[in-house]
Amino acid sequence: MIPLLGISTQALFGQLLLGLINGAFYALLSLGLAVIFGMLNIINFAHGALYMVGAFCAYFLLNLIGLNYWFALIISPLVVGFLGMVIERTMLQRLAGLDHLYGLLLTFGLALIIQGVFQNYFGSSGLPYAIPRELSGGTNLGFMFLPNYRGWVIIFSLIVCLATWFVIEKTRLGANLRAATENPTLVRAFGINVPRMVTLTYGFGVALAALAGVLAAPINQVRPLMGADFIIVVFAVVVIGGMGSILGSIVTGFLLGLVEGLTKVFYPEASNTVIFVVMAIVLLVRPAGLFGRTA
């Protein structure tokens, strides 16, 4: 056990691992934002609220219908994704071609309404959601006690992130999608239904948020404001990674989880602000973000 800067390397490993787990959430949420921004040019401020709806959906499935966590992992993203598609079709589509600001204001307003409604009915302290029995307990890794559930979170979100990256960057579907962003008129001329593709993409991005919400439900309280606490940080992650960069948001999500984890050890008071410090520095040095391309 070699002490490093006042704490043992063992303790440091533990903290780094916890940082990575938080990073998994950042990555999953910022990935959804990056997909939506990269493909649709919408700054989706309702992302945090929809993440919260995903968690509530898991709660309702368990307590009203009796469907457990594993079902929630599939059903909740589908339900919230569908809700997202309705939002896109009925509202966001009307703002296509306008300045980013309009989309931002609309989604911000939606977030406030959704959170307000949930708060009115469920209060601010939230509802309990237990860890699924298969994943309860923990493993002693030697340097720390790792709850099995946290191990599951990191592996599962890594798989989801990489699969998303693969689909968008390496498949024909992804190629069509990217082409449609560059030049929708031309892609339409090839017989591809661009508006439908846009709706589905928004639905997918939102489903990712709901998935993160279900993953978070057993760790955090299922609270109406659980997304509001997260969303600002996640936006910072997207900005640091480079707006719209898929790989950028994944890598930055995990990296910033680590940075935050280290801050929690050495100067815990700053753990909520450190990400914004990083953001300020990155914007000064590389205004397009770490993985962004300058236009």
Q: How far apart are CA 215 and CA 31, in angstroms?
A: 15
Under rule CB under 8 A, residue 41 binds other proteins: no
Judged by CB under 8 A, the stretch of 184-192, 200-208, 216-224, 284-292 that binds other proteins is 216-224
Residues 129-148 that bind other proteins (CB under 8 A): 130-131, 137-138, 144-145, 147
Task: Count the helices and strands in the chain (H runs, E runs).
Answer: 11, 4
Of 236, 233, 248, residue with least CA distance to 290: 248
Instruction: Please give the helix or strand (H or E) that residue 202 lies within, else none.
Output: helix 194-216
Q: Among positive and negative, which fits the CA dihedral 64, 155, 213, 272?
A: positive
Residue 64 has which token pair? 């009203």
Which of 20, 22, 236, 244 is close enough to bind other proteins by CB under 8 A? 22
Please report whether residue 11 would count as binding other proteins according to CB under 8 A. yes
- Write down the least CB distance from residue 142 to other proteins, Å: 13
Q: Where are the alpha helices (DSSP H) in 91-130?
A: 100-122
The phi, psi pair for 8, rounded to 5°, reads -70, 155
259 touches other proteins by CB under 8 A: no
Centroid of chain to Cα 284: 25
**Shortest distance (Å) from residue 52 CB to other proteins:** 12
Binding residue for other proteins, selected from 60, 119, 132, 258, defined by CB under 8 A: 119
Binding residue for other proteins, selected from 71, 102, 122, 156, defined by CB under 8 A: 122
Nearest Cα neighbor of 254 from 148, 163, 153, 170 is: 153
Burial of 94 (0-12, 13-18, 19+ CB in 10 A): exposed
- Considering the complex, state which of residue 90 and residue 125 has its C-beta at the smaller distance from other proteins: 125
Return the number of the residue (26 or 204) whose C-beta is nearest other proteins. 26
Instruction: Using the rule CB under 8 A, give the single segment among 49-57, 76-84, 127-135, 202-210 that binds other proteins.
Output: 127-135
CB of 183 to other proteins, least distance (A): 41
DSSP assigned state of 269: G
Q: Mark the segment that binds other proteins (CB under 8 A) among 10-18, 38-46, 68-76, 93-101.
A: 10-18
Nearer to other proteins, 90 or 120 (CB): 120
For the chain, the C-alpha Rg in angstroms (whole number) is 19
Which positions lie near other proteins, rule CB under 8 A? 11, 14-15, 18-19, 21-22, 116, 119-128, 130-131, 137-138, 144-145, 147, 149-150, 218-221, 223, 225-226, 229-230, 261, 264-265, 268-269, 271-273
